[in-house]
Every structure is written in structure tokens, then in C-alpha cells.
A and B are shown apart, each in its own frame.
Chain A
């Protein structure tokens, strides 16, 4: 088993090291310095291996640290009166949710697929040795952090040991249960619909557990500290049974065959993760016989059909967002009418926290998913036809697409803008009537900005080749920077008059500059890489 683990660990590390070199070779300047022969360079391979190992170590602690820091922050800020009890309560329920959601044993990853299916490694030995490694990482990762946070909350660090053991126990207990349940499903050959229903139930249960984790302490209730020794004892006993079941189970080969059908590398038709994305993207096309392309001809007709067939990606989310915003608006309106303090806070928020809506607009804008669908379901095929790559065709289709995307995304933006203006009026209003107009204009402008931004990024940095491999790291970096900038805006308090005017002017300049760039460069850049 140890030998199998070492082989699988080396395989995974090689996979990651090659992935790292591949990533470097996508960077514009680095690419010229690194030839394809870089993959056989021992020095570079060692460096990539070291970096992969460092990532492994950092990952062992980083996410657990962030997770515990969030619970800690909630305990000291949201329910300071019952700080330690509240911390334990949230930790208990979130660990239960994690037991459902984070189950390494059942992740259909590519490295598992390569090792078990492609190279024929012993499924049981591979799965169990890697699961044991996962458990060790969980324990080692949690132990110092739980000790630290217990100490910070004025408790004995020995609590850290119990909490790390609790996490370990929950992992074993839930994994044992899911393994038993999965094997039952494989034997009965249950349909996909059952699997989907189960996945929904798991998500629902996890959401409820998260609500209980933070909601109970917020309401002043928490699991008593005195209950913990009993809870721990029960979990440890059940975990022993779970562990015995997992480590004695003989059905891993069959389970892995079923499970790894979901791995991105599975099937000759889906050799890269992006091909799986494409397969999923194609599922989002809805056949509609009664497409109203009107009198449209040529590329306008083509574009009208594209948007009509992707209603599920565009219209439905837009409608849902409108409904949700109306509900939030109604709740906020009632709360403001009943409570003067809330009304004052909402007024203050609308007048000073418009930057928050930059992030909200970023989250709800369909530009990224739509440009991805444009490539996966349309341009991936059409760009191999020369007529489709003519400059005038590229530009005319760009304009058609931008119009369609902007119009659809303006609807939820208009809802949000008008609702914010109404909330402002309902909560005491403002001395300057321009603020009402500015709020609506700013939100609409943000929506147009994101439509232009995503379309321009796509047309200037189109990252994929015909095999759907990502060949342009700049595209990923640009999207990441967009996220960082929008996320950074969340906590900014800037008067609406200043922010609204500034962002509107910025959007106008950006949109103009971006369109000029597209007209000049897209005929050269918008092609398969």
C-alpha cells in the first residue's frame, strides 16, 4: 500500500509540475524564454516539484486557517457574549456540513482516473492509501490552528486536540456512510435523476447546517460546552465503525469505475477539462422551433438564433434576479417602514455604499458565462471557416452580440437601480434630487460596462485553440484582476454623488477606448489559437 501511495504521489506531483511549466509557457514574455523542451529540464522539473510541494503544504493549512478565522471573527463580532460557545456551535455544525461536502474519497479527479483506470493501479490500495494521507493532512492541518483559536478565545489549547479529532471523526463517519450508500446505488444501478436529487438534498442539508452554525448563536442559543465530551465520545465511537467499514471494504474497483466516469479525463471525446465544459455548455442549448428572428438576415439572424437558443443562460437568470431583487426590496421596504433605525441605516447605505453594487453587478452579470457559451457552442466551430474570420464579419457580429447582451443584462440592472432609488425615497430621501437619477444611471452604466468589458476581453484575448485548450494566460489574469477590483470596492464608503459621477465618466471613457481597441485589433486577435 505504501509503495502504491508513493507511486501515486509521484504521479500527482509530476502532473502538477508539468501543469506549472505549462502555465508558465502561456505567459506572454516567459513563453519566449521557455522552449517546449522545458518539460525535460531536470532543474526546472525540480523547481516545479518543490513549488508543487510548497503548494501542498500551504493548502494543508491555508483554507483551514481561513475557515477557522471566519468562525473566530463571527464569534468575536456577531455573538461576543457567548464567544467560545458560539465558536464551538458554529464549528460543530459547519464540520457536519463539511462531512457531506468535502469527501476526498469520492472526488472524481483526473489523477485518480489516470492511476486507476489508465495505468491499472490497484483501486483499493490507491484509494485507501490516498484517503489515509488525506486524513493525516486534515489532522495535521487542523491541530495547530484549532489550538491557536482556542487559545485566542481564552481556552486551554488542549481543546484544539479534541476539535481536530472531532473533524477527523466526522470525516470518517460521513465517508463511511456515503461509501455504504454509494455502493448500494451502484448495485441497484440507480438513475442519474436520483443522484441529482441526492445532491440537492445534500446541498440543502449543508445549507441548513450552516444556518444553524451561525443562526443559533445569533439568536443567543448554542450547544452547551458541557455537551462536548459526550458528543466527542459518540463521534469517536461511530468514526471507529466508519473507519473499519472504509478500510475493510473490498468494492473499490467497482466504485471507482462508476465514480471516475465523472472525471474530466474520462472518455475519448473529453480529453481535457474544457471539453467537459463544452459538453456541459452544449446541454444548455434549448431547441425552440418558434424562434422569432423577424426580418433579420445574415449575421443578425445568426445572432438572434444564438441568443434565442441560450435563453436558459440569459433570460431565466435575469428573470430570477429581478424576482429576488423585488423580494429583497419588499422586505427592506417593510423593515424600513416598521423600524426608523433600519430606515436610517438603509438611507446611509444607499447614499454612501454604491461601490458595493460594483461587486453585486459583477456577480450577477452574465457576460462571462455568455462569452464562454459563445466560444464553446458557436465560435469554436465557426472560426474554422474562413468567411467567419473576415474583419467585417467579426466586427458586425461583435456589435450584434454586444447589443443583445447589453439589452438583456440591462433589465435586472434597471430593477436594481429603480429599487435603490425608491428605497432612498422611502427612507427619508435626499436633498439633492440628482442623486436619484445618478443611482439609476450608475447601475445601468455598470451593467453596460460589464457587457463591454467581457465582450472586449473575449474578442481581444480569445484564449482557446480548436482542442479547447487554454492558450492565453492573459485572459485568466484579466478576469482575475476584474474580480479583485470589484471585490476591493465592497468596503469603500464613498458618497453616491462622487462615486456615481466618477464611475459613470470612467465607464464612458472605458467603453469608448475598448470599442476603439476592438475595432482596431479584433480582426487580428479573434481567432482560434
Chain B
């Protein structure tokens, strides 16, 4: 069992406190729905975890059967809402390069493409000519392949058509048993449908919204209530 410990996280932008002594534990086998109002700091939290931003205080630790240690580069996979892929490569070249530097079997390239349902005729096209959704698929794929302990997903499903979005949800449900998945979204229905736990970032503090014995409508009301407590910026 892997646990991600976020402890006493602090992050300020000028005088604005975006993360205010955030402490939370995320557990393997769950998809966490991270909700928060615009500007609440969801992306900042992800960026700090991915070391794109430096924390002003606190730390992230990972605990498994070997003990507890600080989070390292190989532990985090980050799928951004705007897909980032090297546009000058074909999908096959990107995957070949990625497998090579991660010491994985290059002969499996087509298996991976098939797993992600990327059609044969698309595999040798330049990534710059891919649609937004297709680029997102590639970004998801390389993050799945590197199999990090923690997978951060920042609004990743919004660019997919309904069929692909359902396929992706199914894929996430399949892989969650080996990972900690944190899923940031503004779409409540998606969070309720996909996520096991709902976590809200409000006033720089992270808190879980317990579902207890509520039905979906009552749960939704409780989440909205918690969100309304946040400032709108």
C-alpha cells in the first residue's frame, strides 16, 4: 500500500496565500476528485507536487512497504489540461524515444498504441498535426507507461469526445489499484461518477467531503456548500 503524505504545505504568490498549511494523506487504489473554485490553487498544488513550483514550506513524502521517503521525479506523472507533446516528432518516434530512455521494451510500441486505441494510420503522423484530444491521448499514454506511483490529472477529459472520455474513465478505473490518482475537475458529475473521494481546496486548505450515507443529490449539495465557503477570484 502506497500513501502520499502532504504535510504543512505552504505557497504564497506575493501576499496571497494559495496553500495554507495543507496536510492530507492520499492512498493507493483510489481516484481523488480535487475540486475548488477558480483560482483556489488546484493547479498550484499539482505544480508543487511536480516540482514546477517550489513550496514555501512543507513537503511531500511517499510511504510504501520500504518505509517513508521524499517524493522523487519517477514517482509523479502529470497530465496537463493543455496537452504537451513534442510536436516535431511522430507519435511512434515519441513513444520510441520515451521507451528507450525509460529502459522499456521498444517492441511493444504497437501494443501501447492499441491499448490507447490510437489507429494505425495515425501512428506515423507528426504530433503537431494531431487534434487536441489525440495529443491528450499521447500524453496520457506516456504517463501510463511510466507507471508513476502518483498520477495527477488536470482536467484531462474535457478535450475528448464522449466515446473516448468513457474509454479513458474505464482505463483509469482499471489502473487505479496500482496508483494514487488525483483528478482535478470543475465538472461535478464527472467527479461523482469517476472519483472515490472528493477533496476540496478552499482558502488554501484541503479537506475531504465525507459522503457518509448521502445519496448523490445530497452529496452534491454538500460539496456545493463546501465550495461556496470559498472565495471567488
Chain A residues in the interface with B (C-beta under 8 A): 35-37, 282, 285, 287, 289, 297-299, 301-302, 305-306, 309-310, 377-378, 380-382, 384-387, 389-390, 466, 527-528
Contacts and interface: CB of A to CB of B under 8 A. Distances in A.
Nearest to A310: B88
29 contacts: A35-B14, A35-B15, A36-B13, A36-B14, A37-B15, A287-B90, A297-B100, A298-B97, A298-B100, A301-B97, A302-B97, A306-B88, A378-B86, A378-B88, A381-B84, A381-B86, A382-B84, A384-B50, A384-B52, A386-B51, A386-B74, A386-B78, A387-B74, A387-B101, A387-B146, A389-B51, A389-B73, A390-B73, A466-B82
A386 B76 contact: yes
Given A310-B88, A380-B84, A387 B14 contact: no
Contacts of B51: 386, 389
Given A377-B88, A382-B86, 15 more contacts: A298-B100, A301-B97, A306-B88, A309-B88, A309-B89, A310-B88, A378-B86, A384-B52, A386-B50, A386-B51, A386-B74, A386-B76, A387-B146, A389-B51, A466-B80
Q: Which of A302, A390, A527: most chain B CB closer than 10 A?
A: A302
A174 B51 CA distance: 56
B78 A384 contact: yes
A376 to B, nearest CB: 9
Contacts of B100: 297-298, 301
A235 to B, nearest CB: 49
B122 interface: no
A184 B21 CA distance: 63
A301 B128 CA distance: 19
Contacts of B141: none
Contacts of A306: 86, 88
A381 B93 contact: no
Contacts of A299: 101
A288 to B, nearest CB: 10
Nearest to A528: B52
Contacts of A309: 88-89, 126
B87 interface: yes
B85 interface: yes
A385 B142 CA distance: 10
B101 to A, nearest CB: 5
A385 B85 CA distance: 10
B73 A285 contact: no
Contacts, number: 76
Contacts of A380: 84
B102 interface: yes
A282 B78 CA distance: 24
Nearest to A35: B14
Contact of B73 (A305, A387, A528): A387
B184 to A, nearest CB: 15
Interface in B92-131: 93, 96-97, 100-102, 124, 126, 128
A298 B101 contact: yes
A301 B90 CA distance: 13
Contacts of B93: 305
B86 A287 contact: no
A295 to B, nearest CB: 12
A384 B86 contact: no
B128 A285 contact: yes
A162 to B, nearest CB: 54
A289 B123 CA distance: 13
Contacts of B14: 35-37
A248 B124 CA distance: 55
Contacts of A298: 97, 100-101
Interface in B58-77: 73-74, 76
B121 to A, nearest CB: 14
B87 A285 contact: yes
Contacts of B90: 287
A326 B14 CA distance: 57
Contact of B84 (A305, A384, A527): A384
A301 B52 CA distance: 26
Contacts of A390: 73
A527 B86 CA distance: 16
Contacts of B15: 35, 37
A404 to B, nearest CB: 14
Q: Which of B50, B87, B88, B93: most chain A CB closer than 10 A?
A: B88
Nearest to B135: A381
Contacts of A386: 50-51, 73-74, 76, 78
A285 B78 contact: no
A302 B99 CA distance: 12
B41 to A, nearest CB: 16
Contacts of B142: 385
B129 to A, nearest CB: 8
Nearest to A289: B124
A310 B85 CA distance: 17
A511 B100 CA distance: 32
A310 B90 CA distance: 14
A485 to B, nearest CB: 33
Interface in B25-50: 50
Contacts of A282: 87, 128
Nearest to A386: B73
Nearest to A379: B86
B80 A384 contact: yes
A381 B126 contact: no
Contact of B126 (A36, A287, A297, A301): A287
A377 B97 contact: no
Nearest to A302: B97
Interface in B1-39: 13-15
5 closest cross-chain pairs (CB), A and B: A381-B84, A386-B73, A309-B88, A285-B88, A384-B84
